[in-house]
Amino acid sequence: MRELLLLLAIVPIITYNLTDIYLPKRKWLWTGLALGMVVAPVSMCLLQSTHIPVIGKILGLGGLILNIVHGPLGYFTVVAIGIHEPGTVLSAAQLTQINIINGFVWGMFYGVLGYNIDLKWPSTAEGKRLFAGAGKKAMAPYRK
């Protein structure tokens, strides 16, 4: 089940590709939002993947670094609000609450960062729609 969390890493990649096609002027806003929402669960999954023989140690180290940066914010928020007691073992439901808070906070952070990137480097592309203009070219001989 832990490995299924790694599938969340596909969400920012799909978001980047779809916004590159359909909404290029806000590409980094939506990609940052998607990345921020999944970075905490993916880092936890990478941290728990050290049992994989060769590449697991490298993945675990990357997950450790990401989890040190992105993990504590949700935990300390939940403890400060008083939902959980500090120093107790967390259940899966409690980790889910922490990751929801992490997703909300880091999604906003990376979304704002992506918005600023979009403002700084505006895209000149109008969008690469799959069949943009195909109908106009096909009907051109019939127009007067």
- What is the percentage of the chain residues whose pLDDT exceeds 70? 85
pLDDT tier at 3, thresholds 50, 70, 90? confident
How large is the average pLDDT for residues 124-128? 54
- In this predicted structure, what is the pLDDT of residue 55? 92
Distance (Å, whole) CA 143 – CA 139? 7
What is the domain count for the chain? 1
How large is the average pLDDT for residues 95-112? 95
Amino acid (1-letter code) at residue 107? G
How large is the average pLDDT for residues 89-94? 91
Distance spanning both ends of the chain, measured CA to CA: 62
Nearest to 111, CA basis, from 16, 31, 13: 31
Radius of gyration of the chain (CA): 21
pTM of the entire predicted model = 0.79
Distance (Å, whole) CA 98 – CA 119? 31
Residue 132 has pLDDT above 70, yes or no: no
Q: Which residue has the tokens 């009907």?
A: 139
- What is the percentage of the chain residues whose pLDDT exceeds 90? 63
Domain range for 126: 2-142
Quote the tokens at residue 140: 């051109």
